[in-house]
Amino acid sequence: MNKLVLDSECLNGILENKPVSRHDINEIYQNAVKNPNELFSAAQILRKKFKRNSVTFSKKAFFNIVNLCKDTCSYCTYKSEPGEAKLSLMSKKQISELLVLAKKYKCVEALFVTGEQPEQRYQEARDWLKENGFKTTAEYLIHSSELALETGLFPHTNAGNLNYEEMKELKKTNVSMGIMLENVSERLTQKGMPHHLAASKRPKARLEILENSGKLGIPMTTGILVGIGETMNEIIDSLFAIKQLNDKHGNIQEVILQNFQPKPDTMMRDEPSADEKYFKLIVALSRIIMPKMNIQIPPNLSPRSYQSFLETGINDWGGISPLTPDFVNPEFSWPEINKIDANSKKAGYDLKCRFPIYPEFFSFISKELRDKISVIENEEGYVKEKYWR
């Protein structure tokens, strides 16, 4: 590419595959605040180059296994206390029934979500585990993942800070796993800040989990939370932390960029939601920092404008359920899949249903899991249309 495509030397360098520095990204951001067009154009060029004209999603059922949690985040409405109406303690029977229903709805992914090591804090969690025949939440997740595979769904577990051995065990049944980095800022863990009472959100703890996932070769979904009081430097630090982990292990399959939305029953209920212009700049910067990465925003958190993010570098909508709510953001229901399909087409993109693992990561999983996927995959490594439409 001899011809300069854009006015920005930094951005042209990135388009020519030159390494990008922190300093470059700061400069690009400062310029984009005044006029974002060059940044958006570069993000779009990279997105087209590496992801072509398709946008993907995973058709899922959300299993809210247990929402007791030993942490307290000041923006979270997922966590329940014992006795609250929203408390979820799923029994083996309930899990089996939802798996059967998920199959009927042509879901492909079984998303297993739990609070952070609830048995360490709550007797109720210990009793619930005992009733179902388990000592730890991780053991229950291993059992649930086996059930999902038997039913013909593919498990993706997001259960906070699991240890190395637990993750190693779950790798046998989970095609991928997830943990949000959220932010690498220590400042956000100080008194009065959103992560003060959430020990598991300490950056060192989260980075260790991601490091372990790399050592174990687990296709991993991670991401950042935008609009919780962070600075742009902290966002850039967090994106570079993810990039460095992926440069080292090559196992980060996807980065979620999640915009903060205030929840009525939380400490941060009066904080404004993430500013959309600011959010779009971060989406585009993520594409610039990690040109080949799968990058998603949750469409339910930007219900009126999600399709416009296709112009700033994303290539995935994440998991969408025709059956279960988003228990983490219950006030934001999933858009209907056919609406997303229509909006994606209108923007010039083909919607494709993927597995909870992207095709380029198939080599990370066991032959057994690979064989199960091959039964319903098409020649591109996505789910055959007749299995999900």
Sketch the domain layout of the chain as residue ranges: 46-328+335-388
pLDDT digits (tens, 9 = 90+) for 11-60: 999 999 999 999 999 999 999 999 999 999 999 999 999 999 999 999 99
Residue 160 CA from chain centroid, whole number: 12
pLDDT for res 189:
82
Total Cβ atoms within 10 A of residue 18: 11
Q: Is 273 exposed, middle or buried (CB count within 10 Å of its CB: 0-12, 13-18, 19+)?
A: middle
pLDDT for res 1:
42
Number of residues assigned to the chain? 389
pLDDT for res 4:
57
How far is 39 from 287, CA to CA, in rounded Å? 10
Angle separating helix axes 137-151 and 123-132, nearest 10 degrees: 40
pLDDT for res 201:
82
pLDDT digits (tens, 9 = 90+) for 245-295: 999 999 999 999 999 776 777 678 778 778 999 999 999 999 999 999 999
How far is 206 from 183, CA to CA, in rounded Å? 9
Residue 275 CA from chain centroid, whole number: 20
Instruction: Say whether pLDDT at 63 is over 70.
Output: yes
Instruction: Say whether pLDDT at 136 is over 90.
Output: yes
**Whose structure tokens read 């055959």?**
384
**Whose structure tokens read 């083996």?**
92
What pTM was estimated for this model as a whole?
A: 0.95
pLDDT digits (tens, 9 = 90+) for 292-337: 999 999 999 999 999 999 999 999 999 999 999 999 988 899 999 9
Mean pLDDT, the chain, integer? 94
Kindly report the CATH number that applies to the domain delimited by 46-328+335-388.
Answer: 3.20.20.70
